[in-house]
Amino acid sequence: MLQGEWVARIAEQDNAAVVHLGPHPEWQGTVKGEVRRGDKNHAMVGDVNDGVVTLEESDNGINISATWLGEVTEGSCAREVRGHYQTEGNDDAQPLPFVLRKRTP
C-alpha cells in the first residue's frame, strides 16, 4: 500500500514534499525510500501495523529526524493518509498535521 510516489503536505510548511517509497531490500513488509523537499533529500523507511502508518525520516541516513504517524483516510482506497508529523530533538515542538496523497502506484 505504501509503495509508490506520494505528495506530502505538512501544516505550516509552504511547499509540498514528494515521497518515493519502494520495498525495503532487507526487511520484508516494510518500505524504504526518500522524501524530497526542494533540493534536499532525506532517507525514509516505514510500515503499516494494525492500521497505523509509521514513516521515519532521517536527514543524515542514520538518526531519525522526524516521525510521521497516520491512518488511511476512509473511502480513499488507500490513496490518502492523514496524521501527525513530529520532528525529533525538540521537545517543545508540537506535532503538525500532514496529508499524504498517492500520485502513482
Is the pLDDT at 90 greater than 80? The verdict is: no
**Amino acid 20: pLDDT:** 97
Mean pLDDT in residue range 53-80: 95
Mean pLDDT of 24-48: 94
Question: Is the pLDDT at 79 greater than 90, yes or no?
Answer: yes
- CATH homologous superfamily of 4-104: Quinohemoprotein amine dehydrogenase alpha subunit, domain 2 (2.40.128.120)
The reported pLDDT for the residue numbered 65 is: 95
Average pLDDT (70-75) is 94
Q: Which three cell numbers stand for residue 55?
A: 514513516
How much is the pLDDT for 96? 95
- What pLDDT does 13 receive? 87
Distances (CA, A) of 99 to 23, 64, 87: 21, 20, 16
pLDDT at 86 over 90: yes
- What's the pTM value of the predicted model, to 2 decimals? 0.91
Q: How far, CA to CA in Å, does 82 sit from each of 40, 60, 76?
A: 23, 25, 11
